[in-house]
Amino acid sequence: MDPAWPARSPFVLEISQARQAHPPDHALRALEAAMEAADHGVKVVGLTPCTREALERIKEAEDSKQKTYQALCWCSRPLDAADEARLLAVQDVKVLQDTPVRVLHRRAAK
């Protein structure tokens, strides 16, 4: 693995209205190449068909994973040193969010 890239994270890519249940290896390599050529900062390596069991393991692990978010912010005025110090002091912010409606059926009530 290229050390410039962060650790690999499993994900599932669902292809709607797929012509085949399990695409051939050359089709998966072509999809990887197309995703990398799009140059959106995503590197995909080793696409493979996913079994139901693997999908269930990924879904079970998704709630326990720590996620990192980045935000690009604009300010109506230039930031001074005090502003920068306050921003740099912010760490480990807990983001509270509701479960999206599209996944409610998969989540147990809390």
Q: What's the pLDDT score for residue 83?
A: 94
Q: What's the pLDDT score for residue 1?
A: 42
pLDDT reading at 78 higher than 90: yes
pLDDT reading at 10 higher than 80: no
**In the structure encoding, which two tokens stand for residue 33, read together?**
């190449």
Give the C-alpha separation, 63 to 91, whole Å.
21
Global pTM reads 0.44
Backbone CA torsion sign across 40, 35, 57, 105: positive
**Top-confidence residue, 109 or 105:** 105
Give the C-alpha separation, 79 to 7, whole Å.
34
pLDDT reading at 85 higher than 90: yes
pLDDT reading at 33 higher than 50: yes
What is the number of other CB atoms lying within 10 angstroms of the CB of residue 52?
7
